[in-house]
A and B are shown apart, each in its own frame.
Chain A
């Protein structure tokens, strides 16, 4: 059998190297995308896990505050508990070292003495080691960096390092270096240590802590201690095991990961068609040989084995190449992903790819699965070859047509199942059924492809004949007759197109929604925000600057904004404090229900709040409900006046007037940004310069016009979707492989027909035109099916998958120009794909092909 297989299949593969390679590449690309995305996603997570593990040390419980931390008196309270064996205070900042360093750093303010019980920081010994550590502890601007970070930027002990924190440029002096061991491995070495006193002073956090790490006495139950501790803590300050943080982060990015992974599967899906094509090609090419084998007594299962073996060989090679290629892709994707996660969720640095055996096994398994799925039907079909078919060649099409009704029925059933799935609730916050529905829709459309091809073909037959005379007529007929090949090629292109169309509609609708939103809500003339601003860490504006803005020439009003990250019901939420009176009068928010002016007025006058749509969905609350919010004065209940659309954060927002805030929060007078409304015809450039001139030496802020701010939001939006765009391109490339394959196959099967045509007087030119027309026709049909399928899928993406994973309302809009561009793309691809087979067909030698007749 093996011998037979080697003779029968390998020889064939060898003689059609190019085609085999094309199919192989297609499968490999699909696998690569899957492996790449999965590996990159798990690497990002592993890197974050490493960071958390490194920083956790021996910590058993953590007291964590929100936003601006909590008063340090809590530390004394916590340490006095006899159940607590050791406690250490921590301040944590995400800062940016501006160019030339140009990297983010996690900066910890620690008390080295009590921290010793928890973590082992390894200081690099220097000649002046004791002095170095002492000055690290006592000098105001002393900082310790990891050797790795310092070396990368050529920094040595006693060198200075600039840090951008909020709107201030701070200058630190490197006083000690850390070996890349233990906690210093956090964030791949992008960790900086300062003494806790330094941290409190430099970052203006006097009297405040961000975290307390705890080790418990032996033989006490952590759960009991947690309860006891919690009762000692004010609202908003919680005790939790350090792993909880990891869980929260995993939760935050799980929807993001799943969405990318689902996208990557589409390329694999297209791979099934490729294999089908390849094997079908092999079968048709060797119909005569198969029949001969059958004549010689080869069993049916052996025939199946022969062709499945061929498919598996493609799968196996595809797996190998795909996994290898996937790791390369993962490296690239990791950068993009780490960037997006840092921008949207939290600071991660993922340099090293952690190989995920699971991703590789799944990828390889998927390749084999694709091979079997794709190869099964043509193999079965091959096994049905009757020995007598060695004598003639046209049985196949008849069989396919007979099954058309059944295939179409299956398509309808599958589509119905897809619809049902789309109506199901998410599991654990993930739209798993939504993804199942997406694949069912794709599969359903694929099953309906043959029938659709016939239908479209019939509709187009007479216009084609009218337009292109005899060649049009012939092209259309051929397409209809070679349904079992062409339908597969069309289905594969249709799948790729459906994906392209659906994701484009989704992204463009989303982008349009965001764009309209920015235009609605961003109406101030200038926005001032701190220059060093990172995810999860909102820096403050210099108070002096904010105060000085009041007498800005041409000022109509200013809206001072304070953003405070907090947790409500274990959700990361942004408390958005603003002068809502100004907002109501001069700007607006986009509300689900009610008028912006009226609701903002109620917030201002009656101490009510408005919350973002995402938060309303997550907490299942609505207008008129009450929401409990932890404040320094205990849990307080607020009436929800309205629900607004917001696309800034994924966790949700609570908007509150500054006067309400002042009632419950100590008057901290810190502002994360300021919006300035100017008189019409004010000179923006002049005002900008004026504001800038009022900055002190070490202060740095961004001053943005409303137009620039809108652009910035869209830039971040586009960056977020960059991986998605890349995935689409891959799927299209794979689909084009499919078209080329199919057309070559069709021409090959029709060699004799072409011979006959030529014999009866068709010119080479006519044959070429006919083949190109057929290619174009396939492209057109794929496009029509793909567009319909894509619109359906986009509805699913927007109203089910997006809604369930992120909770945003996206206004559905169909970008007409996108369809035009896609059609042109498809036709060009199809014609290019058809060009080579067309030339081959035209070049056929009449006598050679007619010899057999």
Chain B
């Protein structure tokens, strides 16, 4: 499920259009969707919103650790209008967020891009998987995902190869986000991808390899106005299992009943985890100096039915994105170290956590 950021943004940015009939012109995420791969990696313009999200933990031969996040968003402001003759007429916005975490130096930086996609400067192909904003790009070549983003000072050029088949979240092809028909998305993940390539960081190039995670999600009308944000967790354990959990929070702090998760076995089998099957306890908090927002920091996740108990600790405390250009939302998205027990066995691994809706909804001037 990766980035709810886009959805958060839509809640504010695009309200007006939602109020109009145009919102109805997009397809809703309904049960019964049948996935087909690799076709479903590519864009689904019939849905209003879509994102492709990659995170990973990379290390050099010398053991220097980097985390990265690269997300591409597509958001249809309105259906492509027949009236407008200009190539610049705004109907779809493309954003990209890119972050690198340097565990050794306890450092974290991010970049963002936004474009209306005129003249093919940004876009998302719907036949073959290729999404790009200017020179940041992800594309599929065979089963390889090629990622390219950033610049000489902070950039990645990676090849990701999935070692498990796609994991489809939710039930019956939909991942429900709120009570009510259509308040959902189609959501799948590649939970274990072998990554290899180059990280450019502060003037140096590092050959790296590691483990990555991909989320791809599309839908049209997901959140409701009483929902203020969410906490999302992805965990990759050394014993070839993975876990994904999201909790959507209401204004009053209560979790939405549709919050859920997915457990992935080493052989790729999955198990849907409804809200009542797991518990998440916050262990600490961190206050951002940049925005003054206080985020939870450190979690204890329990899934009693699986005899699973995991402790998640951020690799770097400040992994906050303040996206002033594209989505205009502040959120925390960062790598975590994971330790705990699964069926009595010690397990450890890595993960990524996303926290949205903790800051005062803010909107700087464009």
Contacts and interface: CB of A to CB of B under 8 A. Distances in A.
Contacts of B40: none
Given A121-B366, A134-B13, A138-B77, A197 B120 contact: no
B114 A79 contact: no
Interface in B1-25: 12-17
Nearest to A115: B366
Nearest to A195: B90
A78 to B, nearest CB: 11
Interface in B129-161: 134-135, 151, 153
Contact of A130 (B16, B90, B121, B151): B16
B149 to A, nearest CB: 14
A140 interface: yes
B365 A122 contact: yes
Given A73-B119, A75-B119, A197-B86, A123 B17 contact: no
B250 interface: no
B116 A131 contact: no
B327 to A, nearest CB: 12
Q: Report, as a range, how many residues of chain A touch the other chain.
A: 35 or more
Interface string B73-90: 000011000011111111
Contact of B366 (A116, A140, A201): A116
Contacts of A85: 151
A217 B365 contact: no
B84 A201 contact: yes
B325 interface: yes
A134 B121 CA distance: 21
B341 interface: no
Contact of A111 (B116, B151, B153): B116
Q: Report, as a range, how many residues of chain B touch the other chain.
A: 20 to 34
A137 interface: yes
Contacts, number: 86
A760 interface: no
Interface string B229-268: 0000000000000000000000000000000000000000
Contacts of A80: 135
A120 interface: yes
Contacts of B86: 196-198, 200-201, 206
Contacts of B12: 130
B16 A135 contact: yes
Given A111-B116, A113-B114, A131-B16, A123 B77 contact: no
Contacts of B329: none
Nearest to A205: B86
A395 interface: no
B93 interface: yes
B83 A123 contact: no
Nearest to B15: A130
Interface string A517-552: 000000000000000000000000000000000000
Nearest to B93: A113
A92 interface: no
A117 B17 CA distance: 27
A112 B88 CA distance: 11
B305 to A, nearest CB: 43
A353 to B, nearest CB: 30
Nearest to A74: B119
A76 B90 contact: no
A123 B151 contact: no
B366 A138 contact: no
B308 to A, nearest CB: 42
Contacts of B17: 134
A662 interface: no
Contacts of B325: 113, 116-117
Nearest to A133: B366
Nearest to B78: A138
A137 B15 contact: no
A218 B202 CA distance: 13
Interface string A118-134: 00111100001111011
Contacts of A79: 121, 134
B15 A131 contact: yes
Contact of B115 (A113, A134, A138): A113
B104 interface: no
Contact of A140 (B77, B84, B135, B363): B84
Contact of A137 (B77, B115, B135, B151): B77
Nearest to A89: B88
Given A131-B15, A206-B86, A76 B120 contact: yes
Interface string B310-330: 000000000000001100000
B280 interface: no
Interface in A64-107: 72-73, 75-76, 79-80, 82, 85, 89
Contacts of B347: none
Nearest to B366: A112
Given A140-B84, A197-B90, A200-B88, A120 B121 contact: no
Interface string A188-219: 00000001111011000011000000000110
A722 interface: no
Contact of B363 (A72, A129, A207): A129
A113 B116 contact: yes
A138 B83 CA distance: 11
Contacts of A231: none
Interface in B89-128: 89-90, 93, 114-116, 118-121
Contact of B84 (A122, A197, A207): A197
A137 B91 CA distance: 10
Interface string A268-288: 000000000000000000000
Given A123-B366, A130-B15, A130-B16, A137 B90 contact: yes
A711 interface: no
A425 interface: no
Given A130-B16, A134-B77, A72 B84 contact: no
A114 interface: yes
B366 A76 contact: no
A121 B88 contact: no
B89 A197 contact: yes
Contacts of B114: 113-114, 116
Best-surrounded residue of B84, B86, B134, B325 (most CB of chain A within 10 A): B86
Contacts of A113: 93, 114-116, 325
A207 B77 CA distance: 22
A672 B228 CA distance: 57
Nearest to A124: B365
A130 B363 contact: yes
A247 to B, nearest CB: 31
Contacts of A131: 15-16
B90 A138 contact: yes
Given A113-B93, A197-B88, A134 B16 contact: yes
Contacts of A201: 84-86, 89
A114 B85 contact: no
A140 B16 CA distance: 16
Nearest to A202: B86
Best-surrounded residue of B77, B83, B85, B135 (most CB of chain A within 10 A): B85
Interface string B332-366: 00000000000000000000000000000001011
B105 to A, nearest CB: 20
Interface string A172-198: 000000010000000000000001111
* 7 A-B pairs closest in CB distance: A131-B16, A197-B86, A197-B88, A197-B89, A200-B86, A122-B365, A196-B88
Given A113-B93, A121-B365, 14 more contacts: A72-B88, A76-B119, A112-B366, A113-B116, A120-B365, A122-B365, A129-B363, A131-B16, A134-B77, A140-B83, A196-B88, A197-B90, A200-B85, A217-B151
Interface of B: 12-17, 77-78, 83-90, 93, 114-116, 118-121, 134-135, 151, 153, 324-325, 363, 365-366
5 contacts: A75-B119, A85-B151, A116-B324, A128-B16, A196-B86
Interface of A: 72-73, 75-76, 79-80, 82, 85, 89, 111-114, 116-117, 120-123, 128-131, 133-135, 137-138, 140, 179, 195-198, 200-201, 206-207, 217-218
